[in-house]
């Protein structure tokens, strides 16, 4: 079996990345209101959909985190994780290019904790690599044995 399709590697990556997503989601799921300000401060979305994003994105992080950890349809969870990470990195890159260090809202809902946007993009890269790995190289399905 190819090493990159090793199921244990996928379980380990799923646990690590899923843990990060669960940790990122917990505060936002409990209270999404401060997230509105954070998303607004990225200055990418118009005012209308900002609230929708604050309502649903934490739950997507939570469900994806659970999927990665439990392995339930892990490839789909990895697909969503990749999409989320790409979206986060795009938003951070836009602000890095603008020269604005935004409060990322990555692991907390504090609108006052700003970070260097370039460093945040770099921090997201290994997570994106892990998510893409699980998406592109799914473990081979074991052939089912016939009892006949």
Residues that bind other proteins (CB under 8 A): 29, 32-34, 36-37, 40-41, 46-52, 54-56, 58-60, 62-64, 67, 73, 75-77, 79-80, 109-112
Would you say 27 or 118 has its CB closer to other proteins? 27
Check: CB of residue 63 under 8 Å from CB of residue 73.
no
Our CB check for other proteins shows the closer of 111 and 132 to be 111
Closest distance of CB 37 from other proteins, Å:
4
Query: Would you say 113 or 122 has its CB closer to other proteins?
Result: 113
Q: Say if CB 71 and CB 11 are below 8 A apart.
A: yes
Nearest one of 64, 33, 63 to 50, comparing CA atoms: 33
> What CA–CA distance (Å, rounded) separates 99 from 92?
10
Smallest distance from the beta carbon of 45 to other proteins, in angstroms? 8
d(CA 14, CA 58): 18
């Amino acid at each position: 079996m190819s090493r990159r399709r090793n199921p244990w590697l996928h379980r380990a990556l799923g646990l690590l990345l899923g843990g990060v997503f669960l940790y990122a989601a917990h505060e936002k799921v409990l209270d999404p209101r401060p997230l509105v300000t954070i998303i607004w401060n990225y200055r990418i979305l118009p005012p209308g959909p900002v609230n929708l994003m604050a309502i649903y994105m934490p739950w997507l992080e939570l469900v994806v985190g659970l999927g990665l950890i439990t392995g339930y349809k892990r490839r789909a969870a990895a697909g969503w994780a990749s999409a989320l990470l790409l979206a986060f990195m795009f938003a951070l890159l836009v602000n890095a290019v603008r020269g604005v260090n935004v409060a990322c809202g990555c692991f907390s809902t504090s609108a006052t904790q700003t970070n260097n946007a370039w460093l945040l993009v770099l921090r997201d890269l290994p997570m994106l690599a892990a998510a893409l790995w699980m998406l592109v190289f799914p473990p081979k399905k074991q052939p089912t044995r016939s009892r006949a």
